[in-house]
Each structure stands twice: as structure tokens, then as C-alpha cells.
């Protein structure tokens, strides 16, 4: 199966992504930036947390820090709303921003950004309870435990540990992973696709989304770096390769649960998966010998999808659309969310 997938991906995978591709994508992202509120676009707040992380990655990977002032400005412009969001927004939404602020520290070396990340993390951590054996909640009403919030909890925890050396974050992340892996959300094997969440009786429920396959790769690759226990990345590679095999058409990542439409939340999902595949590959270079073929498969996957975005899914203003195979106007013209998603895969593929 891996050999077949490599053959499928091989044609466009040979074309590399340049630093210029990444910096141009970042420049076009700024068209959507609102300096008054320090966010990109005008819709759901959580998307801007993802843009912040994507922008940090673009600057980190290329070494071009032209937009570093945007990070500082976003910090200042969003100060007044921090407590409101920390105390009222969905637990997944605040976790995205937490990861964006951790990445801001990685980029700039300024530890002040960690304070917001910690504040968001504490809100999520406080929801852990024994229902279904553990896990954190997605919603403030505490009615639903789902995969994305728990994956974010694990990954934000490992990232905070790496920045602070506070073992509480590491202990929580390891406990979170052990619980998540034991639930129906993970599936019967590493090759099964992660489903959305748990029912009130702790069974599995919900659709399969690309981002649910991705975020946990960050926490698992961090745990590998921290512990050197290869089992963490064996699970990560298994899930990532399964996604590249099962959620693509002609090698291009799809969001099959949408049908032929698109909703604003799902416009972000594929880029998140690509971002976390990029993290996995960067944190395991060179990979253990037993994972080399999987590494090569995922590297080819990123390059194939990035090149499709660059050459088939870009409009006349340099913005990326929803369907990475193109055209950029399907099902509607590009927006800041679809552009961020495309920028994520272009950035992830760069330099590998």
C-alpha cells in the first residue's frame, strides 16, 4: 500500500517548494489582517489563532521575520478580549490560540506570550473528570468530550512543558494520551481514522475530519522527543499514513464528510493536518529505519499537495481556495481561512 501511494504521489512530489512561495503566501495573508482588533478576517475567532501559528511557522522555516511585528501587534490588540475569551469561548477555540502564543515564543524568544497560553490551558485542564474514564470537554456546558479538544490538550501540554520544564504539563499530556488512545475515538488500530467524539454512554460518534487526524501528531512527536520512546511516533506515523491513503483523491487531500460543499470551520481543517504532518517529519528527521518508508510517503504527500495548491488552486490575487486540486473559485472565491489552509501545506512542505 505504501509503495502504491508513493507511486501515486511521485509526479508532482519532485517539485520543491521555495522560500519565496512561503513568504509570498504570508504577504497575501496580510491583506486580511485587521490592525484594530489584531485578527485576520471577520468570522470565527479560532481561525485567527491558527493564522498566528501559521505565520510563525512561515517565519521560522524561512528565516524571514518581516512580519514579526504582526505577532507583537496581535498580542497588544487582543489584550482587552483575553479574559472574555478565556472564560467564555469553547475549549478547543482557546487551545488554538494557546498554541499560537507558544509558537510566538518559539519565534521571538519572548516568554510573555506563554502567559496567555498557560491561562487558556488552565481553563481546559480544569474540565478533566472521570466521565468516560477521563478526558476534557469541548463545550462550556460540559456535555461533549471530543477528539479535537483532547488532542489540543495533549499537544498544548507538551509544548508548554518544552518551554517551561514544568513536569505537570508533561504528566497531564501523557495521561491525556493514554486515555485518548484507549477510547473509541482513536479506533481499533493506528490505521483506523479518528472519529469526532464520544456519546453520553462513551461510545464513538461523529464524522471523520482531516484535522482530527492531525493535531495529535504534534503531541506524539513531542513525547517522542522528550522520552525517546519510539512507540509514540509509530502511532503517529500509522495514523498520518492512513489519512494520506484514505482521505485523498489522486494524492490530494479531501474533506469527504463535507460532500461537495464547504463550511467555514472545515475550510481550515486540511491545512491543520498538513501543519502537523510537517511537525512530525521535522521532529523525526532522520526517522528510525523502520519508519523511513512512512517518512518518505508523508514527505511526498506534502509536496504533492503543496504543488497542487501553488499551481492549481491560486487565484489572480495570490490567494488559495478550498479545493487544493482547484479551481480556486470552487465552491466560492478564496477567503482568509482557505488561504491559511493552503499556506499551511505550502509551509509544511518547504525545506523537507
* DSSP secondary structure string for all residues of 267-299: HHHHHHHHHHHHHHHHHTSSPPGGGHHHHHHHH
Higher pLDDT, 44 or 112: 112
Instruction: Write down the mean pLDDT value for the chain.
Output: 94
309-315-317-320 Cα dihedral, nearest 10 degrees:
-40
Mean pLDDT within 97-122? 98
Contacts of 27 (CB under 8 A, 6+ apart): 318
* pLDDT given for residue 13 in this prediction: 46
Quote the percentage of the chain above a pLDDT of 70: 95
Task: Indicate whether 196 pLDDT > 50.
Answer: yes
d(CA 238, CA 295): 10
Going by pLDDT thresholds of 50, 70 and 90, the confidence category of residue 83 is: confident
Going by pLDDT thresholds of 50, 70 and 90, the confidence category of residue 262 is: low
Q: SS3 for 111-136, per residue?
A: CHHHHHHHHHHHHHHCCCCCHHHCCC
* pLDDT given for residue 261 in this prediction: 56
The H or E element spanning position 327 is: none
* pLDDT given for residue 7 in this prediction: 43
Going by pLDDT thresholds of 50, 70 and 90, the confidence category of residue 166 is: very high
* pLDDT tens-place string over residues 282-338: 999 999 999 999 999 999 999 999 999 999 999 999 999 999 999 999 988 999 999
Mean pLDDT within 270-284? 98
* pLDDT tens-place string over residues 226-254: 999 999 999 999 999 999 999 999 999 99
Contacts of 45 (CB under 8 A, 6+ apart): 39, 85, 89, 93
Q: Could you tell me if 105 and 163 are in contact, meaning their C-beta atoms sit under 8 angstroms apart?
A: yes
Going by pLDDT thresholds of 50, 70 and 90, the confidence category of residue 5 is: very low
For residue 54, CA distances in Å to 50, 151, 258 come to 6, 18, 24
* pLDDT given for residue 209 in this prediction: 96
The H or E element spanning position 170 is: helix 167-182
Task: Indicate whether 206 pLDDT > 70.
Answer: yes
- pTM score, two decimals? 0.95
For residue 265, CA distances in Å to 271, 273, 338 come to 12, 14, 10
d(CA 135, CA 126): 10
Quote the percentage of the chain above a pLDDT of 90: 88
Task: Indicate whether 14 pLDDT > 50.
Answer: no
10-207-233-57 Cα dihedral, nearest 10 degrees:
70
d(CA 67, CA 222): 27
Going by pLDDT thresholds of 50, 70 and 90, the confidence category of residue 85 is: confident
Going by pLDDT thresholds of 50, 70 and 90, the confidence category of residue 43 is: confident
Going by pLDDT thresholds of 50, 70 and 90, the confidence category of residue 15 is: low
Closest CA to 219 of 98, 90, 134: 98
Amino acid at each position: 500500500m505504501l509503495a502504491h501511494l508513493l507511486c501515486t504521489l511521485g509526479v508532482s512530489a519532485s517539485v520543491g517548494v521555495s522560500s519565496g512561495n512561503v513568504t509570498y503566501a504570508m504577504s497575501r495573508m496580510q491583506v486580511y489582517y485587521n490592525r484594530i482588533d489584531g485578527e485576520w478576517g471577520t468570522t470565527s475567532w479560532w481561525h485567527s489563532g491558527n493564522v498566528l501559528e501559521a505565520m510563525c511557522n512561515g517565519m521560522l522555516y524561512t528565516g524571514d521575520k518581516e512580519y514579526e511585528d504582526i505577532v507583537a501587534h496581535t498580542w497588544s490588540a487582543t489584550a482587552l478580549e483575553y479574559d472574555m475569551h478565556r472564560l467564555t469561548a469553547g475549549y478547543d477555540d482557546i487551545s488554538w490560540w494557546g498554541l499560537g502564543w507558544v509558537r510566538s515564543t518559539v519565534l521571538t524568544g519572548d516568554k510573555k506570550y506563554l502567559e496567555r497560553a498557560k491561562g487558556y490551558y488552565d481553563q481546559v485542564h480544569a474540565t478533566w473528570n472521570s466521565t468516560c474514564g477521563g478526558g476534557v470537554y469541548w463545550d462550556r456546558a460540559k456535555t461533549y468530550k471530543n477528539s479535537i479538544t483532547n488532542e489540543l490538550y495533549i499537544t498544548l501540554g507538551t509544548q508548554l512543558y518544552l518551554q517551561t520544564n514544568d513536569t505537570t504539563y508533561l504528566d497531564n499530556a501523557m495521561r491525556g494520551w493514554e486515555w485518548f488512545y484507549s477510547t473509541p475515538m482513536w479506533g481499533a488500530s493506528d490505521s483506523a481514522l479518528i472519529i469526532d467524539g464520544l456519546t453520553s454512554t462513551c461510545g464513538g460518534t461523529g464524522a471523520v475530519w482531516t484535522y482530527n487526524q492531525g493535531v495529535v501528531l504534534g503531541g506524539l512527536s513531542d513525547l517522542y522527543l522528550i522520552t525517546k520512546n519510539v512507540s509514540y511516533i509509530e502511532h503517529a506515523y500509522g495514523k498520518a499514513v492512513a489519512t494520506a491513503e484514505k482521505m485523498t483523491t489522486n494524492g490530494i487531500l479531501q474533506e469527504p464528510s463535507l460532500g461537495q460543499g464547504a463550511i467555514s470551520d472545515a475550510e481550515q481543517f486540511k491545512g491543520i493536518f498538513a501543519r502537523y504532518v510537517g511537525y512530525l517529519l521535522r521532529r523525526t528527521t532522520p526517522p528510525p529505519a523502520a519508519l523511513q518508508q512512512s517518512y518518505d510517503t508523508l514527505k511526498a504527500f506534502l509536496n504533492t499537495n503543496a504543488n497542487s495548491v501553488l499551481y492549481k488552486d491560486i487565484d489572480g490575487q495570490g490567494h488559495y481556495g478550498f479545493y487544493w486540486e482547484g479551481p480556486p473559485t470552487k465552491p466560492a472565491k478564496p477567503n482568509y481561512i482557505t488561504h491559511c489552509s493552503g499556506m499551511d501545506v505550502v509551509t509544511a512542505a518547504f525545506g523537507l
